[in-house]
Structure 1
Amino acid sequence: MAVTIELKFKKICDGLDGSEGPVFNTKGDFYAVAPMPTLEDGRVEEASQFLDKIAGNLHKVNLDTGEHEVVCTPQFEGYGGRPAGCQSDKNGNIWIADMRLGILKYSPEDGKCQQLSKVDSSGNALNGCNDLVFDKDGNLWVTGPGSPIAPSAEDRTLIFQKPSGRLYFLENGNTIPVAMDETFRFCNGIAIRDNLLLVAETMTRSIIVFDVVSSGKLSNRRVWATLPKADYDNPMNVGGPDGMDFDVNGNLLVAHHGGGHLEVFSANGVLKTRIKCPFKQPSNLHFKPASRTCYVTEHDFNGVWEFEWECEGMPMYHFTSQ
């Protein structure tokens, strides 16, 4: 039976509307995204984020002072972005999964943002993209829970009530991803360990796992773990696994959005520890390289928090030697 623990969380900053996508790049800089605009009354209006020309932001965060600055506000062809997930490549560029614009790449060196991918290899518009991870060969795996990206209007019924989520594979060096022959009920966070690819399916509270049998080829889909039930305090009663990250011992730490915990699963998918959070809606997490310090984003205070875990995080692709 899982043990619930309380660790010391320290708030680094707040004010990142819809705080998501925590990541370190190879320069040692920390970034997070604010996908949702704030209305004059201070509320985050979920529907308004999808209006034309409303753009979320990529922030660079000073972890010592809590200060953060907008370094990128993606907008293409008159449509604003909703950046959701981030990863770094070996050159320190930030790759962004965007719910309105597809797959983006931001270069800290010149401050420019590119819209790399809008369609898949079959010519179909990408689903709005939520999270992404590099494998050991520098290939990119991307979750797409949303309805098709701009200029299509968002279809919330399609996103939340139907198995319309897609999984994409972008081969190293290419810009056109391949859509896997798989569907999900809101595929969300994504992680990889050795030859296992894990995908969070939020609406079923499940972690789905695949065997990666060769480059861009998956087999043996199965449920690897299921999150505990929780009282999801929102009109749609929606919650479940969001972003996730491995530690060096092979444990998977999962942000339980709406559940108020980080759920820790053993290497074989057994829930072993529940980390109680000082907020209800953790959205993602990311380890500082070669460190036990873990950074968590959340939607109650729209902040970034840190805590110390029992071991270091598993090194990401961009911090491993090849």
Structure 2
Amino acid sequence: MDIQLVTEGLEFPEGPIAMADGSIILTEIKGQRLTRVTPDGKKEVLVDTGGGPNGAAIGPDGAIYITNNGGAFEWLDTQGLCIPGPTPPSHVGGSIQRFDPKSGKLTTLYEACDGKRLVGPNDLVFDKQGGIWFTDHGCSTPEGRKFGGVYYAKTDGSHISRQRDHLISPNGVGLSPDESVVYVADTQLARLWAFDVAGPGELGPPPGFAPGRVICNLQGFNYLDSLAVEAGGKVCVATIINGGITAFDPDGSTEHFAFPDLLCTNICFGGADMMDAWVTASSTGKLYKCRWPRPGLRLRFNA
């Protein structure tokens, strides 16, 4: 695979969005900002978000919605790599934010669900109804982890519901092409979950004792991060330690594409044929572009 370096000097990039004009809008978690990267590699800060902006997506109104973990990581310099560390004592929780590119206004939509503070919102995807499926990654504590969950919310701030709770470390989230399945990558389990959708914004009952269906557990020591779905239904998950992108088929088989960073955190698709792919290489602060062997799934909304 021919990999092209688009830009570098980013502060732990994540949440890439392939825009219609060829630019990429992404988050910089350590930098606490939303940034546009042009095809020639130039960078423009769109807004300072505070906290820890992680996932980002265009909504039905053309605004950019951000899952902000609230600053859930301390940052470690390990052999010249930027590595997310423990949750600092100052962390109180995260939020869902909305950024209007036209006005430049940043607002907070949600900080809690049913009176329980969101811990560390991580990734999001819009369905055809214009609602938001998002994950809460949880966070670390000196005694162990605060568990995460899977949520659904409306963009007008009127509704948020917790659809699965007590998940170890839910991270990337995506929808199958027919939107009958919500896929969630669990970081620490190196597991891709599938949750069947019962209706708009509602997951079906879990199968037995498990919270969802297991697509695959990666062997050995790996972590999973954020993801994007291919048009044919494969789920492309950024892989940590075994740095790159792992494509999971719904039948459980996998294919790995290596990238030069131990902490690849996300992938997005774009271009006229949806076969251009951009990958965030976070520990080295780089954004790469390549031609993917198959087209990605076109998201419901873009700008």
Whether these two folds match at TM > 0.5 is yes
* 1:35 positional shift: 1.1
Could you tell me how far apart the structure 1 residues matched to 2:219 and 2:127 are?
29
CA distance in 2, matches of 1:105, 1:10: 31
Q: CA deviation at 1:202?
A: 0.7
TM-score, normalized by length of structure 1? 0.79
Structure 2: distance between partners of 1:124 and 1:173 = 19
Higher-strand-fraction structure: 2
Equivalence for 1:114: 107
Q: CA deviation at 1:319?
A: 5.2
Give the Cα separation in 1 of the matches to 2:109 and 2:295.
32
Identity across the alignment (%)? 25
Any conservation in 2 of the 1:25–1:88 contact (CA below 8 Å)? no
Give the deviation of 1:314 after TM superposition. Answer: 0.5
Structure-2 residue corresponding to 1:86: 56
Q: Say if 2:10 and 2:285, in contact at 8 Å, map to a contact too.
A: yes
Does the CA-based 8 Å contact 1:206-1:241 persist in structure 2?
A: yes
Structure 1 unaligned regions, length at least 5 = 1-6, 38-55, 75-79, 148-154, 231-238
**Equivalent in 34, 41, 48 of residue 58 of structure 1:** 34
- Superposed, 1:245-264 pairs within 5 Å as 245-264=228-247
| Bigger helix fraction | 1
Are the aligned partners of 1:196 and 1:209 in contact in 2 as well (CA < 8 Å)? yes
Offset, 1:265: 1.6
Q: Which residue of 1 aligns with 2:97?
A: 104
Cα distance change of structure 1 residues 89 and 187 upon mapping to structure 2, 3 Å threshold = same
TM-score by length of 2: 0.83
Is contact 2:270-2:276 (8 Å) kept? yes
Deviations 1:20-54 (A, max 9, x none): 110134666420111114xxxxxxxxxxxxxxxxx
Task: Report matched runs for 1:131-210 at 5 Å.
Answer: 131-147=123-139, 155-157=140-142, 161-162=144-145, 164-171=147-154, 173-193=156-176, 194=178, 195-210=180-195
Equivalent residue of 2:98, what SS? strand
Q: Alignment partner of 1:318: what SS?
A: coil
Question: What CA deviation, in whole Å up to 9, does each residue of 1:59-87 have, x standing for no partner?
Answer: 01102x1011111102xxxxx32100011
Is the counterpart of residue 301 in structure 1 residue 271 in structure 2? no
Query: Does the CA-based 8 Å contact 1:187-1:202 persist in structure 2?
Result: yes
Q: Which runs of 4+ in 1 moved over 4 A?
A: 25-29
Paired position in structure 1 for 2:117: 125
The CA distance in 2 between the partners of 1:256 and 1:204, in whole Å, is 12
Separation (CA, whole Å) in 2 of partners of 1:278 and 1:183: 33
- Does the CA contact (< 8 Å) of 1:26 and 1:90 recur in 2? no
Going from structure 1 to structure 2, the CA distance change for 1:25 and 1:293 (only over 3 Å counts) comes to closer
Is 1:227 aligned to 2:242, yes or no?
no
Q: Report the alpha carbon displacement of residue 181 of structure 1 after superposing the two structures with TM.
A: 3.8
Q: How many residues align?
A: 271
Where structure 2 has 5 or more consecutive residues not aligned to the other structure, the ranges are: 71-93, 207-211
Q: What secondary structure is seen at the aligned counterpart in 1 of 2:61?
A: coil
Whole-angstrom CA distance in 2 between matches of 1:283 and 1:218: 26
Partner residue of 1:71? Answer: 46
| Contact kept? 1:24, 1:88, Cα under 8 Å | no
Q: After TM superposition, list the pairs within 5 Å mapping 1:23-62 onto structure 2.
A: 23-25=17-19, 29-37=23-31, 56-62=32-38
Cα drift, residue 171 of structure 1: 3.1
TM-fit CA distance, 1:16: 1.3
Shift of residue 92, structure 1, vs aligned partner: 2.5
CA distance in 2, matches of 1:146, 1:124: 12
Instruction: Kindly state the Cα deviation for residue 269 of structure 1 after the two structures are TM-superposed.
Output: 2.7
Give the corresponding residue for 2:270. 288
Decide whether aligned partners of structure 1 residues 181 and 288 sit closer, same or farther in structure 2, where only a CA change above 3 A counts: closer
Contact 1:145–1:166 under 8 Å retained in 2: yes
